[in-house]
Structure 1
């Protein structure tokens, strides 16, 4: 009997021990101090409660995944107490959050100091991988961090359909530009435009207005305008740095504020995320997302002031800072900076037309027009396809025979569709811009090949070899682009944007919120190199905080809504400013590529102009309008300040 009782007790203790030891927790590979991560619980058994106690706090488990999970912010040395079970998390893996800023900071620092982009970007990626590896495996992790550069970040950057689309589009553009250069089309355009663009000012104005006309996509804008106008601006002795600045600053600023662009869908989605958080917290805003976006355009100081600043510089034929140095060098006949461009510029300028052929502008105009108009058509086609799919999800029995049927039923999707402009904006917003760009560029290349062969300018072998040479010319810039995307993945893994967002801590006066938002968004975009990811993070973060602050100050909606519109616009404007200043920005890299300008030369000459306009935007636009000055008056004040700055500090490129 005693033996039986003893064995029974041992069995009970064993069962209890097995039950306790079977409860396990799975942690993410990367844990940063104070950043919420998902923790899943395994081997919980069938009767595990839906609401558990974690460190004396009630938390509801999420059962939607394979295992129940909850969100937790880890701290160093912390012990988790879950329903009587104590766990010692791998606290050596908790990375201090401030370290998340180091990879992009080092990459940007090295790029600006040493003027070598590829090594700088690689160093930033390696540093991020080494930090993660060290906190995971000790000193051995530094070596694994080196390997992580290629087996994780570069591969993941390439394993993205959007990134691959940009690469293929850029390569096709390179092939098209090479072909229309060799078949005499580009020379024909140059000869035609030079009749009107007879000097540096008219050449820059032509580039400026061409940039404004391609408003629907920033990638298409940069690549088409830069490649089309490079030969013309070279002939008129305009520096590659100035061309890159005009290309870059008529791309994102225009695409960001136009009603019908590839940006509109993302912008509305990010703003809606912020509104959803406001409405959940019982701080209701009745206005729709499209109406908020349209009203916020009245406060879009940086994009609009950038366009005015650039126009006034060109009109007055003045520059200052490093751009003035570049322009004086170009007027003296040295278009490309000889100190920084040994083999670092595109080879496309070496593609002279085939000898003894007529220089027909149509050989270039038609392929370029196909890219522009074809992209617009592609946006419409993919937009209607997306709308039809969404509508069929609502009603699988619906039968849409034409685009007009889909157009008429857009309101069923609860998207902005009250007016023609709203419908068109919503249509472009749900389109597939990457697919549209690929369709247009492939069709353009096919037409350029047919025109070259039909006019017997080159045979098929020479035509293909020319296209391949154009492909090869894009490789250096595409390598920079891939590394920039890889570094962006590092900043995402290390929550760099979350670290910068912690700057929000502390109480701020409501009238300072828009200016603070502008600066915060600029810092995030500068550090991550992406205006879209900046909007994705900052909109849901700052919009509820701004609205709550206004409500806590007992502001009436008539006073609070203008500040709110200003905040909405400041996120977008700050994102564009940071994107302009960042050497790891994809659009900045593409602008350098298309203009045949050394990338660091472009960044170095653009930063003073971008910061000048950004400063004026804050002190003459954002802050005065937040204090109650009508936006129109703020714009007039900012225009006057810009005129004063250009007149005082600007100098003629040629005395």
Structure 2
């Protein structure tokens, strides 16, 4: 029994691979990608990856197999062609400039964590917080409150709150899974609602594209504001965290990270040439700004600790490298998650889900159906922004044609996309939340889903 439990995950993966080789022998092999509609097969790559994640807890292997399944289908069931196409997806996504910036940011943040631990700053922060907050309830509330304060970007939220509070929650006996849930639930849900954030420009842009050429006279930003009261999932997710939570010496580098990141967002969004601070933040290159913040924080940490006589330069470099090493697995998972997203784009997962639901939509059910469709798409693909881009052009015309209030229809798309992404083991934000909170990724996902479903049920 011991040996079966130990190797059952590997045997399951081997069986799946063997089955696909049999299928490939029954199909016509083709090296070129086949251009056609794949129907239900378009759901197979994300389903295989998600199911294997839950069964084996081997996230990286599960994602790789999911990518390979999709790539094999796209190459006419040629398993060898599927392998080469899988590697192509991985290289393509790792080399993408936006993705590469995120990966570098993660490594730099990891190095910063190593430096802070070397200095004793983490211990000092723990003491300063636990002197005022000495129980689990207070610790969870404080982490939740900081999650609301870091509202301007979901990635910044996970990195800053996760790094700052992980040792605090450890000291107060709060499980890593519970802490990871708090971090994740105050990342995308908060950033998607904030009036000033990296999400606003994207969401308003999608709304503007969707209403172009229609009879709608309101500005996209006005519609965005009107949709906020209807973002029930995001609102209830934030409230639920609070409800569950209630049943400084060497931390200068993290302050630098926050300040420089906000300045970087303002600068990359147009700076003094932007119409307003809000407009600049909305148009910001968020990851570039966050990378600037992380890099400056590392420089300040090294200079500060050197002046204070905390270790030699060699000690600091060793600490930085040790911290960066902690991010290797998470970054590999991120690359794989992006790659399976590319596979889903190529095989048509999202359009299939949308088209399958078109025939059952009525005016009364439209918001709920759009919410559910966006849940499924974002859960399957791991991207809320991609889901918004797919569903918004469909939801707006349907809402106008069926007489559904436009803010209600739009809010169903925006908050539904956040909900599915929030629960998905393939989501980059979910991965980063578990990474920066020190939680096992699949333990975080399994812990979070009941809470997320509770908020979704109320919504």
Q: Give yes or no for TM over 0.5.
A: yes
Q: Which residue of 1 aligns with 2:18?
A: none
Residue deviations 1:507-563 (CA, integer Å, cap 9, x gap): 53212111111111111100110001011111112111221122xxxxxxxxx4xx2
Following superposition, the deviation at residue 494 of structure 1 comes to 0.8
- Whether the aligned pair in 1 keeps the contact of 2:327 and 2:435 (CA below 8 Å) is yes
- Whether the aligned pair in 1 keeps the contact of 2:200 and 2:282 (CA below 8 Å) is yes
- Whether the aligned pair in 2 keeps the contact of 1:264 and 1:425 (CA below 8 Å) is no
Following superposition, the deviation at residue 199 of structure 1 comes to 0.6
Alignment of 1:496 onto 2:383: no
Partner Cα separation in structure 2 for residue 535 and residue 424 of structure 1: 25
- Whether the aligned pair in 1 keeps the contact of 2:38 and 2:348 (CA below 8 Å) is no
Task: Find the partner of 1:505 among 330, 333, 358.
Answer: 358
Matches within 5 A, 1:191-340: 191-276=127-212, 279=213, 283-316=214-247
Task: Find the partner of 1:611 among 449, 453, 458.
Answer: 453
- Whether the aligned pair in 2 keeps the contact of 1:169 and 1:441 (CA below 8 Å) is yes
Residue deviations 1:300-355 (CA, integer Å, cap 9, x gap): 11111111111111111xxxxxxxxxxxxxxxxxxxxxxxxxxxxxxxxxxxxxxx
SS of 1:245's partner is helix
Matches within 5 A, 1:15-26: none
Residue deviations 1:439-498 (CA, integer Å, cap 9, x gap): 111000000001111111100111111101111111011111111111111001111111
Following superposition, the deviation at residue 573 of structure 1 comes to 0.6
Alignment of 1:176 onto 2:108: no
Residue deviations 1:239-277 (CA, integer Å, cap 9, x gap): 00000000000000100000000111111111112112x
How many residues matched? 428
- Whether the aligned pair in 2 keeps the contact of 1:211 and 1:250 (CA below 8 Å) is yes
Max Rg structure: 1
Partner Cα separation in structure 2 for residue 587 and residue 523 of structure 1: 17
- Whether the aligned pair in 1 keeps the contact of 2:202 and 2:282 (CA below 8 Å) is yes
Task: Find the partner of 2:76 among 134, 145, 153.
Answer: 134
Partner Cα separation in structure 2 for residue 96 and residue 233 of structure 1: 47
Residue deviations 1:551-579 (CA, integer Å, cap 9, x gap): xxxxxxxxx4xx21111111111111101
Q: As a proportion of its length, which structure holds more helix?
A: 2
Partner Cα separation in structure 1 for residue 35 and residue 190 of structure 2: 44
Following superposition, the deviation at residue 91 of structure 1 comes to 12
Q: Which residue of 2 aligns with 1:189?
A: 125
Matches within 5 A, 1:393-432: 403=272, 406-407=273-274, 410=275, 423-432=276-285
Partner Cα separation in structure 1 for residue 279 and residue 397 of structure 2: 24
Residue deviations 1:125-173 (CA, integer Å, cap 9, x gap): 00011111125xxxxx2211012111x1101111211111111111111
Partner Cα separation in structure 2 for residue 129 and residue 91 of structure 1: 9
Following superposition, the deviation at residue 383 of structure 1 comes to 1.3
- Whether the aligned pair in 1 keeps the contact of 2:350 and 2:390 (CA below 8 Å) is yes
CA RMSD of aligned residues (A): 1.5
1:595–1:210 distance in 2 versus 1, CA, 3 Å: same
Q: Which residue of 2 aligns with 1:516?
A: 369
Q: Which runs of 5+ in 2 are unaligned?
A: 1-31
Q: Which runs of 5+ in 1 are unaligned?
A: 1-89, 136-140, 317-360, 386-402, 411-422, 551-559, 618-655
